[in-house]
Chains A and B, each alone.
Chain A
Amino acid sequence: MTGKLSGNGPGPRDVLPQGTRLPLLPDTNPLTGTAASGEGPFRRVVRIVNPNGLHPRLADWFKRTCAQYVCTVVVWNGETRADGNSLWDLIGLMAMPDSDVILEVDGPDASKAIDPLAGVLGSPGGENYTI
């Protein structure tokens, strides 16, 4: 795993070297993202189905959900990494509609956090899309 998993605020984005792949961890079920034991790190592939992609309001909702947990939350779009607690990072992911991102959680309550966080990321929205 490359790149720091901690740190809040809009610091410089971490970008993995070209060609780097993020393997699923050995104890992670590739379909559900759940681990056999422990509190992470867990990873899950989440499709962005919101027709506006990961737009600022969705990113803000995700950030506020992250704040309910103490675990570290990282979202990867390709080789670009976002701290889940940083709105700037999340906007900078530029996650388009129908793209897949990788949600990664690690820490004491990671197993509790992964489902709600994946639910927000994969939410179809319901916002007023005319504005």
Chain B
Amino acid sequence: MRLCNFIVRDAITPSLAASAPPGVPSTPRDPATVKTVKEQVVREMVVALHAAGHFRVSDVDEIVRAVLRREELGTTGIGRHIAIPHSRHPAADRLIGTLALSRDGLPFDSLDGEPVYVFILLVSPQDRPGDHLRALEAVVRTMRNDDFVRQLRACQTREEIWALLENAAPGW
């Protein structure tokens, strides 16, 4: 599986509006800051999926809550400036996802304590754990390539990001 197999092109966000609250120390593990940032990031990405034609508007809040409940069980900031917020939800009839970049990096309670610049949000049906695992594998296989991540973070537009995903070597 490749990222372009499940990432929704029209939901890609080249520059997240989410930011740490002004005046609040933006230490990566400050719980209040992290909670606020996580909600902003997840909502922005789920809304982008809705705007791209996925999920009814009435499902958006519940999907955001499901992803945040998953975050409460353990952060999906897996280090190396990458986070994979994800959840299963009945509104998804197949695995879909989207990608978002933060220009300044965001506190996300990452395992290595570093800010996160690349977010990949996954929403999958509840009865297809295999697809979910394949997508997660595709994310870590691709994102462990430092050259790829460097190129990704340099992208300024949705089109540039999509072209990079489509043209990535199969090993990525």
A51 CB contacts on chain B under 8 angstroms: 129
With an 8 A cutoff between CB atoms, is A87 at the interface?
yes
With an 8 A cutoff between CB atoms, is A56 at the interface?
yes
**Which of these, B69, B87, B137, contacts A94 with CB under 8 Å?**
B137
Q: A56-B76, A129-B126, A131-B66 are in contact. Are A12 and B144 (CB under 8 A)?
A: yes
Q: A52-B129, A53-B130, A56-B136 are in contact. Are A92 and B141 (CB under 8 A)?
A: yes
Identify 28 residue pairs between A and B in the complex whose beta-carbon atoms are under 8 Å apart, listed by A's number.
Answer: A10-B140, A10-B144, A51-B129, A52-B132, A54-B133, A55-B129, A55-B136, A56-B76, A56-B78, A56-B84, A60-B74, A87-B111, A88-B79, A88-B144, A91-B78, A91-B137, A91-B139, A92-B140, A92-B141, A94-B133, A97-B129, A97-B130, A127-B73, A128-B73, A129-B126, A130-B88, A131-B66, A131-B69
Using CB atoms and an 8 Å cutoff, list the residues of chain B in contact with chain A: 66-67, 69-70, 73-74, 76, 78-80, 84, 87-89, 111, 126, 129-130, 132-134, 136-137, 139-141, 144
Using CB atoms and an 8 Å cutoff, list the residues of chain A in contact with chain B: 10-13, 51-57, 60, 87-88, 91-97, 127-131
